[in-house]
Amino acid sequence: MMSWLPENISADGVHLDFLFYAIYYITGIIFILVAGCMIAFLILYRQKPGVRATYTHGHRTLEIVWTVTPTIILVIILFLSHASWAKMKLNPPKNPDVRLEVIAKQFNWIVVYPGPDGKFGTKDDVKLDNQVNIPINKTVYISLTGEDVIHSFFIPHARVKQDVVPGRQMAVWFKPIKTGKFEIPCAELCGTGHSGMKGELIVHSAASYQAFLKKLYAKKSS
Ligand SMILES: [Cu+2]
């Protein structure tokens, strides 16, 4: 199997990967069949001395088959993708375990941690540049806002990508199932520093996350 995607670290990512590969193989097989038929027919029905070309009106049963079959495949993909889309994009978790805010601006991600009170917009909030720290196996909800131009918050490993449009409140959510460090590139050309606009996602174990928070908030209060 050809592997196009980076390793998946999101609990819901399997749905997206399944759809990606299903569509990839269906279209790949159909492409080979169509191209194969074209080449075969070019050779079989090439000009031959003494053979006159004839006109054909087509084949009704064949027409029905090649119209109905793709329709059925597309309707199945539609239902499958709607279910995954709803999970990943339409229905945010009601009680996420971790909430963060990310503010996009030329050319970095400002990550806001709510502080010990768990509320944003209060004195104990802490801001970190380009570093999203989260614990493993917890649902994370990240609110996104933009300060200048359109950016796109992209975590390829978490199968998360969302345009950040100034003046609008956006969000992404996912549940990491692997610890490690992963890239957060900006996926929307946003100016001269766009290529350097890169954050880091750090998925901690439960203990290491608590240690991180303790250190982060201790620094703030000292
Ligand atoms: Cu950007």
Grade residue 2 by pLDDT with cuts at 50, 70 and 90. low
Q: Give, to the nearest 10 degrees, the angle between helix 60-85 and helix 13-44.
A: 160
CA of 42 to the centre of ligand 1 (A): 49
Confidence check: pLDDT of 1 > 60:
no
Q: What is the pTM of this model?
A: 0.86
CA of 153 to the centre of ligand 1 (A): 8
- Summarised one tens digit per residue, pLDDT across range 125-169 is 999 999 999 999 999 999 999 999 999 999 999 999 999 999 999
* Predicted local confidence at residue 21, as pLDDT: 92
Name the nearest CA neighbour of 205 among 195, 213, 197: 213
Residue whose pair of structure tokens reads 């670290």 in the numeric block: 9
Strand-pairing partners, residue 155, are: 160
Q: What is the mean pLDDT of residues 7-29?
A: 93
* Predicted local confidence at residue 3, as pLDDT: 78
Grade residue 53 by pLDDT with cuts at 50, 70 and 90. confident
Residue 167 has a CB neighbour count (10 Å cut-off) of 6
According to the 3-state scheme, what is the secondary structure of 11-37? CCHHHHHHHHHHHHHHHHHHHHHHHHH
Separation of first and last alpha carbons in the chain:
53
Residues 6+ apart with CB under 8 A from 196: 107
CA of 84 to the centre of ligand 1 (A): 27
CA atoms lying within 13 Å on the CB side of residue 222 = 6
CA of 14 to the centre of ligand 1 (A): 27
Prior bond of 182 cis (ω within 30°) = no
* Predicted local confidence at residue 222, as pLDDT: 60
CA of 129 to the centre of ligand 1 (A): 14
* Predicted local confidence at residue 87, as pLDDT: 87
Strand-pairing partners, residue 113, are: 126
- What average pLDDT does the structure give for the chain? 93
CA of 106 to the centre of ligand 1 (A): 6
- Summarised one tens digit per residue, pLDDT across range 177-203 is 999 999 999 999 999 999 999 999 999
DSSP labels, 100-153: EEEEEETTEEEEEE-TTTT-TTSTT-EEEESEEEEETTS-EEEEEEESSS-EEE
User: 3-state class of 162 per DSSP?
Assistant: strand
Greater confidence (28 vs 220) lies with: 28
User: 3-state class of 67 per DSSP?
Assistant: helix
CA of 130 to the centre of ligand 1 (A): 12
R_g over Cα of the chain: 25
